[in-house]
Amino acid sequence: MAALPRPAGDPPAPAIAERHGVDPACVFAANGSNEVIQSLCLAYGGPGRTAAVFEPTYRLHSHIATVTGTAVAAGGRGGDLALDLDEVRRVVVDARPVLTFLCSPNNPTGMIDSPEAVAEVADLASGLVVVDEAYGDFADWSALELVGPGRPVVVTRTYSKTWSMAAARLGYLVAPAEVVSQLERVALPYHLDAVTQAAGRLALRFQAEMQARVGAIVAERRRLVAGLEALPVHQWPSAANFVLFRPLVAGGQAVWQGLLERGVLVRDCASWPGLDGCLRVTVGTPDEDDAFLAALTEVLEA
Ligand SMILES: Cc1ncc(COP(=O)(O)O)c(C=O)c1O
């Protein structure tokens, strides 16, 4: 199958490549990182092939695999919700996945996989290892450093989180150039419209402002975590812009309702495997976080 024409206009790939210090041929941009994931599944998955995921994790990895006819092998994480390399080995040996999805920082746990863990998964995996770094800007290391020629690691990123551009629908992947060539074969001709391309290029001129915002959110995350430490909840270490926690003295649903009645909306994560009673709070402004901590204290004392 021949590669279809590259997007018309002035695509953001060279500017993205410059941001990450890679060759533009190693960048594939699409309408959101979900479309990048769909392109990966179209190019590498399909009937008779399998993608591996490790639950609890971002639901769209298995959903997109399924809608592209790719079977899903779902492994679990350890009791502490960290990636369990023995489980990765078991799933990878058993299912021989063409795509192994990691999510780092993981949605919804916020936990990050170490460089050693990602490198080991890359050694174990039979196909591509896709590291979804939608929240990567909030973390202190990136699997981008593991991407290189002949290495089966690819990293997806999005403008939806740190750039606050979810509605613009722009995401991308950094990968060996041969992977990008495969993705260009399945992308529709001219799939990125001119406005999205321009927005993607323009945003990158404001990196200093973006980094300042990320720095403020990370500092605020530390304050939120310290506030939660003083309350009867279990929380998981977060490298993202949210924190997962489980109330220890009341059910998750009752706490969710109590917070709502006090004007605070958090995410109920009970429907994820292994996250019974868990809630996820997004780092807000200092005032929002104070309001959340005050409301949570009240609910847990009630
Ligand atoms: C881990 C993860 N990956 C990807 C996405 C989707 O990003 P996009 O808006 O770029 O499709 C999300 C959105 O919530 C996410 O949490």
Distance (Å, whole) CA 179 – CA 47: 20
d(CA 220, CA 223): 5
Indicate which atom in ligand 1 lies nearest the CA of residue 107. Answer: 1
Question: Is 159 among the domain residues?
Answer: yes
- What's this model's pTM, rounded to 2 decimal places? 0.95
Q: Are residues 91 and 239 in the same domain?
A: no
Q: Are residues 171 and 215 in the same domain?
A: no
Question: What's the pLDDT band for 2 if we cut at 50, 70, 90?
Answer: low
Cis peptide before 247 (omega within 30 of 0): no
pLDDT bracket for residue 12 (50, 70, 90): confident
The reply to whether 165 falls in a domain is: yes
> In ligand 1, which atom is closest to the CA atom of 170?
10
CB count within 10 Å of CB 93 equals 10
Give residue ranges with CB within 6 A of ligand 1: 32-34, 58, 103, 107, 132, 134, 158, 160, 166, 171
What is the arithmetic mean of pLDDT over 261-290? 97
Residue 245 covered by a domain: yes
Q: Looking at ligand 1, which residue's alpha carbon is closest to its atom 2? A: 134
Q: Where in 60-194 does DSSP place strands (E)?
A: 71-76, 99-103, 128-132, 153-158, 171-174
> Which residue has the least CA distance to atom 7 on ligand 1?
33
Establish if 3 belongs to a structural domain. Answer: no
Decide which of 144, 171, 206 is a domain's last residue. Answer: 206
Confidence of residue 11 (pLDDT cuts 50, 70, 90): confident
Q: Are residues 186 and 218 in the same domain?
A: no
- % residues pLDDT > 90 (the chain): 91
Same domain as 172, residue 228 = no
Distance 144 CA to ligand 1 centre (A): 17
Tell me what pLDDT residue 1 has. 52
CA distance 223 to 212: 17
Report the CATH number that the domain containing residue 196 is assigned in CATH: 3.40.640.10
**Alpha carbon of 34 to ligand 1 centroid (Å):** 6
The predicted-structure confidence for 61-99, as pLDDT tens digits, reads as follows 999 999 999 999 999 999 899 999 999 999 999 999 999
> Cβ(180)–Cβ(28) under 8 Å?
yes
- Taking only the tens place, the pLDDT of each residue in 51-60 is 999 999 999 9
Q: At what angle do helices 33-44 and 59-67 cross, to 10 degrees?
A: 40
Task: Let me know: does 34 contact 171? Beta carbons within 8 Å.
Answer: yes
- Tell me the per-residue pLDDT of 146-161, one tens digit each, with 9 for 90 and over: 999 989 999 999 999 9
Is 27 found in the same domain as 150? yes
Partnered with residue 234 across adjacent β-strands are 246
Looking at the domain assignment, is residue 64 inside a domain?
yes
pLDDT, averaged across the chain: 95
CATH of the domain at 217: 3.90.1150.10
* Same domain for 237 and 249: yes
Q: How far apart are CA 170 and CA 160, in angstroms?
A: 7
Query: Coil, strand, or helix at residue 234?
Result: strand
Contacts (Cβ under 8 Å, ≥6 apart) of 223 = 286, 289
Q: Is the peptide bond before 108 cis (omega within 30 degrees of 0)?
A: yes
Residues 196 and 125 in one domain: yes
What is the 31 CA–ligand 1 centroid distance (Å)?
11
pLDDT of residue 231: 98
Distance, CA of 106 to CA of 113 (rounded, Å): 8
**Domain of residue 167, residue span:** 13-206
Instruction: Identify the residue whose C-alpha is closest to ligand 1 atom 3.
Output: 134
Task: Among 160, 176, 206, give the residue marking a domain's end.
Answer: 206
Q: Do 77 and 215 share a structural domain?
A: no
Structural Rg of the chain based on CA atoms: 20
Confidence of residue 8 (pLDDT cuts 50, 70, 90): low
**Each residue of 190-217: pLDDT tens digit?**
899 999 999 999 999 999 999 999 999 9
User: In a mutational test of the pocket of ligand 1, which residue from 28, 158, 196, 267 has the highest number of ligand atoms less than 8 Å from its CB?
Assistant: 158
The domain boundary residue, chosen from 185, 206, 227: 206
Residue 145 forms part of a structural domain: yes
For residue 135, report the distance from its CA to the centre of ligand 1, in Å: 8
pLDDT of residue 270: 95
Q: How far apart are CA 137 and CA 140, in angstroms?
A: 8
Question: Is there a single domain that holds both residue 164 and residue 24?
Answer: yes
Is 212 found in the same domain as 157? Answer: no
In a domain, residue 5? The reply is: no
Based on the structure, what is the number of domains in the chain? 2
Q: Does 2 map to a domain?
A: no
Helix, strand or coil for residue 168? helix
Please choose from 35, 104, 154, 160 the residue to mutate so as to test ligand 1's pocket, defined by most ligand atoms within 8 A of CB: 160
The confidence score (pLDDT) of residue 176 equals 97
Using the mean position of ligand 1's atoms as its centre, give its distance from the Cα of residue 258 in Å: 28
Say whether both 176 and 283 belong to one domain: no
- Are residues 148 and 256 part of one domain? no
Question: Which candidate, 221, 180, 224, places its Cα nearest to that of 14?
Answer: 180
